[in-house]
With several copies, the nearest count.
Chain A
Amino acid sequence: MDIKVNVRESEGDAYVVDLAGEIDVYTSPKVKDAITELIDREHYNLVINLEKVRYIDSTGLGVLIGGLKRVREHGGSVNLVCTNPQIKKIFDITGLVKIFGIFDDEQSAMKALA
């Protein structure tokens, strides 16, 4: 019922945010803080890895959307790695598949940033 957040630098100024656990109204502020800090440090190309996320609610989606909006103002983008069918379904239902790049593995998500 908790979230683990890990931020690491990757190739060509891109950053990866690894999330593991459940993103809900209680845990999403922690995710928001990590993304906000990266953007404040002027990193605008982000991969958010949701492979180990078992659950996400609308507040979690809101945090991802907020991050995307901010990096776009700087010509950046947010790509997601997501394999969990239930979570993919949420992105489908909400039409967020049209907004985010969603990839099956980190390598593809990274490549698509460039």
Chain B
Amino acid sequence: MNPAPAASRSNGVVRLEIPAVAEWVAVARLAVAAVASRRPFSVDDLEDIKLAAAEACTNAIQHGPPNGTIAITCEVSAEGITISVSDRGHGAPLGTVAQERIGDAGRTEELGVFLIRALMDTVEYTSDVRNGTQLVMTKRISR
């Protein structure tokens, strides 16, 4: 937690804002993957991060307010990446969603949040009327 030496790589914060429209999700996932690929994540982890970010954007489009925008913030450090995805919607009782395990029949509903939880190391939803819905998720660089 000491400040990094001046010559080390910056712990960069990259912000992105896209219209909450299906067409732009591809831009968000490519940008997030590009940010993550500046750190030594495995190819597998990069794909996980890309998909999780895309699922979060898709949810913001499908469950957030119409004609809105989605704000995505990526912060990288030596440990990994933290991605936050926010919309201006009122959210939903997200605390309990998609926590269950897969039954014998496999999973066919609420796959989005389920995938996010499966692919990332930590996932936290906050949602209130004033600030909208925010999903903060992290992925650690594995060594």
Interface residues of A (CB under 8 A from B): 1, 22, 24-26, 55, 57-59, 61-62, 65, 86, 89-90, 93-99
Contact = CB atoms under 8 A, between A and B. Distances in A.
5 contacts: A24-B54, A24-B58, A57-B54, A58-B114, A94-B114
Interface string B35-78: 00110000010010011001101100110000000000000000
A26 B25 contact: yes
Contacts of B111: 58, 61-62, 94
B115 A94 contact: yes
B contact patch SS: helix
Contact of B112 (A55, A58, A98, A99): A58
Interface residues of B, number: 32
B93 interface: no
Nearest to A68: B108
Interface string B95-119: 0000000111111100110110011
B69 to A, nearest CB: 16
Contacts of B50: 55
Given A25-B54, A93-B118, 4 more contacts: A1-B30, A58-B114, A94-B111, A96-B107
Contacts of A96: 106-108
A22 B29 CA distance: 12
A95 B106 contact: yes
